[in-house]
Amino acid sequence: MLRFLLLLGFSFLFMHLHVTGSISKYINMKYSYISFITIFVMFFLTFAQLIIYVRGEKHKEDDCNCGHHHVRKGWKEYIFYPVLLFPIISVFFIPIATLDSNIVKAKGFHFDVYNDKDTSAIHQFLQPDSSIYYGQEGYDQYMDKAKKKFIKKNKKVVLNDNDFLIGMETIYKFPGYFDNKTIQFKGFTYNEKELESNQIFLFRFGIIHCIADSGVFGMLVQFPENIHFKNDEWIQVEGKLSNMYYQPFKKTIPILEVTKWKSTPKPEDPYVYRTY
């Protein structure tokens, strides 16, 4: 019966995530069809387990006088049930937390892959890098295509939700092609103590495959006068792109010289996703 209840719980868990739209907080929506199929698979397994349970109960009634020794299940048989029960309880009863500046503050951000030399756990910050998902030739072709898309003559580059990650990656990879080009994007503000009083980082959390490989991506923006934003304020900026040497990173990075900006509501889905 416990197996049946757990399977039923997981079935409703996946259905709940899709009905409420919360599934986008966990995975890249490119793969949402997999979790949607899982709903039907889980309900099928639940029904199968119910049949097995009912038949098992009937056999117990028929075999109670068979003279065989029936082994009772020990406590070790049930020790893993609380572990399986935890994700069901957490999704239904614990509010889903949105990644914000507290994560950036806790982990920091930099250009290198943030993986503690563990190749099975890749986390990226500030600059997207999809080269790890391609062979060198395939990656070069992909980025060349992206470059041609974004550097159209005299055209403003607008990094919307769909283009944000690939757009940022293209800008960081080919900074010279975007020098003095008008860029527009939105994100949440993040204060760093090394910044000048008119500078701030503007970020979006990006999901490559699932929340486990998410990273925070964006760039440094500079206003024409001193400004003060609290962390996690959402703004949209537009300005001319240039480059500067940023001492904490010991690296030249893109910086957006802001000409226009406005406050904007936090998006219903604050994350951006890797597209292929």
Largest Cα–Cα distance in the chain? Answer: 90
CA-to-CA dists, residue 205 to 1, 82, 165, angstroms: 41, 32, 9
3-state helix, strand, coil in the chain (%, to 5): 40, 20, 35
Task: Give residue 119's pLDDT band: very low, low, confident or very high (50, 70, 90).
Answer: very low
pLDDT of res. 132: 74
pLDDT of res. 67: 54
Task: Give residue 62's pLDDT band: very low, low, confident or very high (50, 70, 90).
Answer: low
C-beta of residue 240 within 8 angstroms of C-beta of residue 257: yes
Q: Where are the domains of the chain?
A: 2-93, 101-273
| Alpha carbon distance 84, 153 (integer Å) | 55
Domain 101-273 indexed as CATH 2.40.50.140: yes
Q: What angle do CA 3, 6, 7 make, to 5 degrees?
A: 85
C-beta of residue 63 within 8 angstroms of C-beta of residue 245: no
Assessment of whether the complete model's pTM goes beyond 0.75: no
pLDDT tens track for 71-80: 555 556 667 7
Amino acid (1-letter code) at residue 182: T
pLDDT tens track for 90-105: 777 777 767 777 777 7
